[in-house]
């Protein structure tokens, strides 16, 4: 079974631009979660989608948004990029069934904002 | 309040020896799950092992075992017979509640421990 895939793997943007990152979950997984990883703040939860609905949201400004499609693929968007948005963005998918809550991560997208 | 604490920023271990990575957690939920992930320099988070709060036995997965002490709120990872490929960052994470709960899909991570295996 193919793992979680994320595109693009690397991205360079300038301040003020916007960016869209994509995540394809493991086949059959309906939950997709997004995380931001920085050296200073560590790994922080952004949001989680299940069946095209956002079920949980972390403490990030409204510039960070996401969505999920009917095939469970998810995108996250960051508008008006700031230097501090430079990070590794990880997405994870899970079955979200009792006893099968393990999240499996993709390789991440490294975003550099100049 | 920090909910996952990993007190060892960095550790060294000799190849073929066992090593324990510490993790303590804080939660008021009765139902929760504890996870360990490995992150090599490539960045991908690799799932290692899971322990549910109601599991009475310590979880084991090959060379990985989780020393779960519920009363002390600790979930230490034990790696037996270390290999050079074990050199990586290791994260302890917690999920409060079970599938379908209000915290669904949210993992809280510790700051990580960098493990270096020496030949």
Q: What is the pLDDT along chain B (119 residues), one digit of tens a residue?
A: 669 999 999 999 999 999 999 999 999 989 899 999 999 998 999 999 999 999 989 999 999 999 999 999 999 999 999 999 999 999 999 998 876 676 778 999 999 999 999 99
A55 and B CB contact within 8 Å: yes
Q: Which residue has the tokens 């994320």?
A: A6
Its sign, for the CA torsion B20, B23, B24, B25, is negative
Closest-CA residue of chain A to B112: A42
Residue A28, judged by CB atoms within 10 A of its CB (0-12, 13-18, 19+), counts as: exposed
> What pLDDT score was predicted for residue B119?
95
pLDDT attached to residue B102: 67
Average pLDDT of the residues in A2-19: 96
Nearest CB partner across the interface for B105, out of A31, A44, A90: A31
Residue A62: burial class (beta carbons within 10 Å; 0-12, 13-18, 19+):
exposed
Q: Do the beta carbons of residue A66 and residue A76 sit within 8 Å?
A: yes
Q: Is A58 on the interface with B (CB under 8 A)?
A: yes
Q: What gap in Å lies between CA A85 and CA B85, rounded to an integer?
A: 31
pLDDT (0 to 100) of residue B51: 94
């Amino acid at each position: 079974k193919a793992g979680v895939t994320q595109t693009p793997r690397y991205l360079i943007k300038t301040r003020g631009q916007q960016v869209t990152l994509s995540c394809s979950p493991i086949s059959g997984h309906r939950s997709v979660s997004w995380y931001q990883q920085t050296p200073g703040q560590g790994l922080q939860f952004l949001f989680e989608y299940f069946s095209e609905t956002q079920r949980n949201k972390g403490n990030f400004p409204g510039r960070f948004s996401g969505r999920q499609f009917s095939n469970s693929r998810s995108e996250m968007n960051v508008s008006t990029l700031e230097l501090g948005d430079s990070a590794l963005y990880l997405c994870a998918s899970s079955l979200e069934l009792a006893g099968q809550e393990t999240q499996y991560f993709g390789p991440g997208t490294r975003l550099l904002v100049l | 309040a920090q909910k996952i604490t990993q007190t060892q920023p960095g550790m060294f271990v000799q190849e073929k020896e066992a090593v324990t990575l510490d993790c303590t957690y804080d939660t008021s939920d009765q139902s929760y799950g504890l996870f360990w992930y490995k992150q090599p320099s490539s960045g991908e988070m690799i799932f290692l092992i899971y322990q549910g709060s109601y599991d009475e036995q310590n979880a084991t997965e090959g060379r990985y075992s989780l020393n779960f002490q519920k009363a002390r709120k600790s979930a230490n990872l034990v790696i037996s017979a270390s290999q050079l490929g074990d050199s990586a960052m290791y994260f302890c994470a917690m999920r409060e509640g079970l599938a379908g709960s209000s915290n669904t899909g949210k993992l809280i991570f510790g700051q990580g421990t960098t493990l270096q295996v020496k030949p």
